[in-house]
Structure 1
Amino acid sequence: MATDPAAEGVLFDPSRRADVNVVEGPETTRVILRLRLRQPEVVPRLEWRQAGWTTLPMTPAGLLGDWMVFQAVIHGADLAEPIAYRFALAGPDGERFLGARGLAPDPQEAGTFRLCPGALAPFPVLPWTQGRVFYQVFPDRFANGDPSNDPPGTTPWGGPITHGTGEQYYGGDLAGLIDRLDYLAELGVGGIYLNPIFASGSSHGYDTVDYFRIDPRLGDLDTFRALLDEAHRREIRVILDAVFNHTGTGFWAFQDVMERGAASRYKDWYFFHGFPVDVEGPNYEAWWNVASLPKLRVANPEVRAYLMGVARYWTRFGIDGWRLDVPNEIREPGFWEEFRLTVKGINPQAYVVGEIWHVEPEWLEGDRFDAVMNYPLARDALVGFYRGQGGLGATELDRALRRALLVYPEQAVLMNFNVMGSHDTSRVLTALGGGNLGDRPDPVAVRRLKALSTFLFALPGVPVIYYGDERGMLGEKGENWDAQRAPLVWEEWGEAGRELFAHFQTLIRLRRQHPALWSPVVTRLAVDDEAGLYACTRSGGGEELVVVTTRTPGPVRTVLAGVSGRYRDLITGTQLQAGGHGLEVALDGPETRLLLRE
């Protein structure tokens, strides 16, 4: 009789993309199957059938929480025909089988799973995202290229940040960004993520009043057209921030309800609890109860059609993708699936990134987003590791990295938006102990940032630089005081700024040049909690790299057993030769070394 596998330490979900995945490649298509076990003595294998039964070993891929993940890859299957498969589990008490009917000692009793043609949504990796680094721009704080459009009461550039920073303007605009595109090209970035640029009632732009108009303080449609053309001429892609969960109170539909009350044809565009509308003590649903951000009723067909029209308009205009604000707060069935089909139907290469803060693999099944803002990897795990906070040692770093690699399907791992910090968090250099706005960056924190960024740029995914991080900007996110959104002072570099700019230039160049850094393959070599050291290999595109990092200040030496051959440090050019005991690597921590096998 078949039994419940989860009750016996076996997990497999055929509806989960991370467990059953089809990856299309230029030469072959792979079917990746993953099984989770809590039974260390059990050895699994995969049995699959089209013309006849074939047996494949399953290799351990790492721990996902308390579960060991095993993986098998089917090459050369005919995906126009169904694939039948099951798992065989060999243990001390004999062999059992896992199939569609559960866990049983007899394969016929366990049954088989079936992967049918078209069962999984196409989920291609966008080739242009690989090897590319993004740069996030908060428009009002980046550069002022046209003072004539500055709002009344604009703070002088570099002036003090005030409380209620959403009401404070510095005059940054799209013309300023155009002026600085050569700077970004010199840095080497290949993509810009723009915080909201549509007409709004604040400097942050998340309270949209017109989705079809560029905010006049930033420019106009011609300015944005020039930005896209000039960026594309430099091979820099541009994605826009979209806020579909809520609008500002100045949005035309909300204004109509304020004027007409229950007689307004737009009263069902929002969640009103009574009339007349009261914005002082809001009698409507709003994002986190912020009165200026009334929540849209996305289930309303008119609202949905309007928002899809917004997506069509700007995608046809020529943008390269979307970053979607708080998409997890829009739970209407089919909304994000329709959004993806709408955007991809116009531009199949459009990059769709969801602002998801936690590990939530359901958003990356191939039917909604290409990527999420991968805060748990860099902002949480890496900052905690290099800062030495929250008990995050090398073992915990390895677990966090395995989780980032195994909880999502391979395509999402390769496209995830790997942010160290953003407009919503403290500056990464501040989080690493570098100080606050106005301070001189602490040299140890600068070393931590260099080590962290080098390690992050060596991992799968799309690295992201928040504007000014490459110049050593500091700033703490407060309760109502966003120092992390301070204007970038172009005239001041400082020693840390020059050092970090050159460092990020090098990382971006290496990222473009070495396809091993785009690969999903990360093989652990060493985990040393005492030395605060972690090492792994990155292989792909005919290359193999050894990545070694430590957070410990001062000299650290390690010997990586089983590593042979000759290596070149990609940053310093130093040559290393493995000996009989392995490859000896010396670090001056905090530091990360990238070693290419020659």
Structure 2
Amino acid sequence: MIYSSIRHDYKNEMQSVIDLNTLEITLEAARDDISRVVLIYGPRYSDNKDANNKIEMNLKYRSKYHDIFSVRLNLDDTRLRYLFYLEDNGGDRVWYNEKGFFKTRPQGYDSGYFQKAIINKSDVKKSPEWAQDAVIYQIFPDRFFRADSNNYKNREWNQLPKKDSIYGGDLKGIIKKLDYLKELGINTLYLTPIFKSPSNHKYNIDDYYQIDPNFGSIEDAKELSKAAKEKGIKLIIDAVFNHSGSNFFAFEDLLTKGEKSKYMNWYFPENFPISKEEVNYSTFANDIQDMPRLNLDNPETQEYFLKVAEYWTAELDLDGWRLDVADEVSREFWEKFRKRVRKINNDIFIIGEVWYRASNWLDGNTFDSVMNYDLQRDIFSLIIEENMDVDQFSSQIQENFRHYHPEKPNILVNLLDSHDTARFNWELRNYNKKIIDQKMKFAISLQFLLPGIPLVYYGSEVGLTGADDPDCRRTMIWDKNRQNRDLYNYYKKIISYYNQNRDLRKGDYKELFMDPLNKILIFSRKNKKSNENSTVVIINMSDKKQNINDKNIIELLKNKNLSFSINNNNNNSFNNNCLKIDKKQILIYS
């Protein structure tokens, strides 16, 4: 038994409050080391000197180096004490508590039990229920649709973008295309910034209380929110509070008055006088002169931007905020932000832009979710670079999940691309169309079949392509003769299936079978309540038809029906002894 790899502590992902009466307990061990884990538990206050309730813990995740065991306890009394009994594959047996490992069971109240003092109402950190059912569509407003021909533009619609290109897309254009989004199956809209700014991207905001005139008016924004809700589409907008624009009133005052400015503590000046040419102040990234970084540890700055958030949450009846450069902003500010906007809408969904594993931000006090760039990079490695096999892929996503509270994987935002990355299909440009479409369908399928909220970046569904910024921000293709209709139909098909399958939206990931040599991965999305492998996903990434004879898989599929496939052909079959799956195929049994 590898004792140094066995771990349990009081962190959010290992002692996880689910609701007022439910606690999930997790134990970590070295991969393939522990064969059995039993949780022995009981109330902290009892006539018995020891806890005597026993429950087997299940293997939940398997990463490259770790096995993760877990169990959910439904408790009448949430004041809990517990320890673990472990067996390994070599016959070693130990008891494990706060004080370490023992060959015989420690006895008595003071023997070293792990403890859960109690579950208080404030310990239950719930995210909005609706978020688990969301299919998000991200729009870069200048590039989606231009309804008002009088809008300023310096580029024709179908011309390729430059850094300063403005095409005149607007909020009325989005309103006109809501039926298009509804038909696709979208139920949540995310807009990049819409406030007054001299740029096309609006991430350098000059006035946080004004809709950019080229996008429309506050009345247009309200109409968009109202019209979207009438069609069952929720609205999320971008919050840019890490930095302002250089024409923002507080920074202009600092530029003019220097050390005498009452807004000096709103920013991070290095010396005086402030110079935009020298960029002697902290900015977003490195020396971006028109994006001076805000000091959101300063109470006055905090209050100004908290009021901005409150104002728009109420005025636009917002369903969510996506927070730009979220991890570089004061945690204290985000904690206040969450409390203040939730007083207006307790069901608001808060997404942080964090490009790495963000478990420290998802403790229930700041964000509900983050943009899941971890998964995006793994899909990129599997599908595009082909330097990761199915075993590594499954291990890696489970490695990511194990660091989060158990309710979080299903609300991470799964994206393939965004306004900050090259389009996914751009990275496939050197392949022929047949292979591009094949690889795109695999990537899209993983985005929808793995835990998380799928996000479609505008135009991806019709084959819009582009390299890194600004090329990834091309204008939407509305001419059906120029659209990839086969890809559009596949998006529509998988979104419809996703919207009808509760397990895909809310079930846990469970690896069931792995064959790296033949590029086979089988996993289920487990029903949390029944713990059954309700929906089974079978992936064949190889160039050959494969036979699957594993007895456990065959037995599992006997009572299920084929409900989805990437390719609608007759080259797949199932009988009581064998599943035959075609090359480059994904099958779903439910």
SS across alignment from 1:149:
coil
Q: Does the 8 A contact of 2:21 with 2:119 survive in 1?
A: no
User: Which position in structure 2 is the counterpart of 1:35?
Assistant: 27
Equivalent residue, structure 1, for 2:493: 506
Deviations 1:51-87 (A, max 9, x none): 55311111211224412111121123434xx112222
2:420 matched to which residue of 1?
424
Q: Contact (CA 8 Å) 1:567, 1:575: kept in 2 or not?
A: no
Give the RMSD, CA atoms, in angstroms: 2.5
| Counterpart contact for 1:567–1:577, Cα < 8 Å | no
Cα distance in 2, alignment partners of residues 40 and 448 from structure 1: 33
Deviations 1:474-498 (A, max 9, x none): 1111xxx521111112114446x10
Q: 1:482 aligns with which of 458, 470, 479?
A: 470
Give 1:254 shift: 0.1
- Say which SS state the counterpart of residue 238 (structure 2) adopts: strand
Structure 1 residues 115-124 or 405-414, which shifts more?
A: 115-124
Task: Give the aligned partner of residue 139 of structure 2.
Answer: 137
Q: Decide whether the 8 Å contact of 2:31 with 2:64 is kept in 1.
A: no
Is the Cα contact below 8 Å between 1:558 and 1:585 reproduced in 2?
yes
Offset of residue 20 of structure 1 = 1.1
* TM-score, normalising length: structure 2: 0.90
User: Which of 581, 586, 595 lines up with 2:581 in the alignment?
Assistant: 586
Of 561, 570, 589, the match for 1:567: 561
- Give, in angstroms, the shift of residue 95 of structure 1: 4.4
> How far did 1:345 drift?
2.0
Kindly tell me: are residues 576 and 75 of structure 1, through their superposed partners in 2, closer, same or farther at Cα, counting changes over 3 Å?
farther
Measure, in 1, the Cα distance between the counterparts of 2:131 and 2:476: 27
- Residue 453 of structure 1 is matched in structure 2 by 444
1:175-574 paired onto structure 2 within 5 Å: 175-289=172-286, 290-317=288-315, 318-330=317-329, 332-377=330-375, 379-389=376-386, 391-431=387-427, 433-434=428-429, 442-477=433-468, 481-494=469-482, 497-540=484-527, 544-553=534-543, 555-562=545-552, 563=554, 564-571=558-565, 572=568
Partner deviation per Cα, 1:164-208 (whole Å, 9 max, x = no partner): x1x221111111111111111111100011111111221111111
Amino acid in structure 2 at the alignment position of 1:46: L
User: Could you say if the C-alpha distance between residues 120 and 554 of structure 1 is closer, same or farther in structure 2, counting changes exceeding 3 Å?
Assistant: farther
1:119, CA displacement in angstroms? 8.5
CA–CA separation in structure 2 for the residues paired with 1:434 and 1:565 = 42
Quick one: structure 1 residues 362 and 484, their matched pair in 2 at CA, closer, same or farther if it must change by over 3 Å? same
In the alignment, is the contact (CA less than 8 A) between 2:240 and 2:324 conserved in 1? yes
Shift of 1:428: 1.3
> Tell me, which stretches of 5 or more residues in structure 1 are unaligned?
none
Write out per-residue CA displacement over residues 200-243 of structure 1, whole angstroms, 9 at most, x where no aligned residue: 22111111111111111111100000100111011001101111
Distance (whole Å) between structure 1 residues aligned to residue 361 and residue 273 of structure 2: 38
The 1:396/1:345 distance shift into structure 2, 3 A limit, reads same
SS at match of 1:460: coil
Aligned length: 567
Contact map agreement 2:358 2:370 (CA 8 A) in 1: no
CA deviation vs aligned residue, 1:100-127 (integer Å, no higher than 9, x gap) = 3444455354333224232863222422
Q: Is the 8 A contact 1:568 1:574 kept in 2?
A: no
**Structure 1: which amino acid aligns with 2:38?**
R
Compared CA separation, residues 261 and 355, structure 1 to 2 (3 A) = same
Partner of 1:68: 67
CA distance in 2, matches of 1:434, 1:555: 26
Code of the residue aligned with 1:508 in structure 2: it is: I
Alignment partners' CA distance in 2, 1:283 and 1:388: 41
Deviation at 1:527, TM superposition (A): 1.7
* Percentage of pairs with the same residue: 27
SS in 2 for 1:570: strand
Provide Cα deviations, 1:335-384, integer angstroms capped at 9, x if missing partner.
2221111122221111111111111211111111111111111x211222
For residue 343 of structure 2, give the secondary structure of its aligned residue in structure 1: helix
CA drift at 1:141: 0.9
Q: Which runs of 5+ in 2 are unaligned?
A: none
Contact 1:434 1:443 in 2 (8 A): no
Is the 1:455–1:547 contact (alpha carbons within 8 Å) kept by the matching residues of 2?
Answer: no
- Aligned with 2:225: secondary structure? helix
Q: Contact 2:31–2:63 at 8 Å: present in 1 too?
A: no
* Residue aligning to 2:41: 48
Evaluate the alpha carbon distance shift between residue 311 and residue 103 of structure 1 in structure 2; reply closer, same or farther with a 3 A threshold.
farther
Q: Secondary structure at the match of 2:588?
A: strand
Cα distance, 1:493–1:528 mapped onto 2, change above 3 Å:
farther
- Calculate the TM-score normalised by the size of structure 1: 0.89
Cα 1:532/1:55, change in 2 over 3 Å? same
Question: What do residues 520-548 of structure 1 show as CA deviations (whole Å, max 9, x unaligned)?
Answer: 32222322222222111224388822211
CA contact (8 A) 2:514 2:522 kept: yes
What displacement does 1:392 show?
Answer: 0.5
Q: Distance in 2 between matches of 1:454 and 1:489?
A: 23
After superposition, the Cα gap between the structure-2 partners of 1:39 and 1:343, relative to the gap in structure 1 and judged at 3 Å, is: same
**Does structure 2 conserve the Cα–Cα contact (< 8 Å) formed by 1:83 and 1:116?**
yes
Task: Assess if the C-alpha contact under 8 Å between 1:200 and 1:215 holds in 2.
Answer: yes
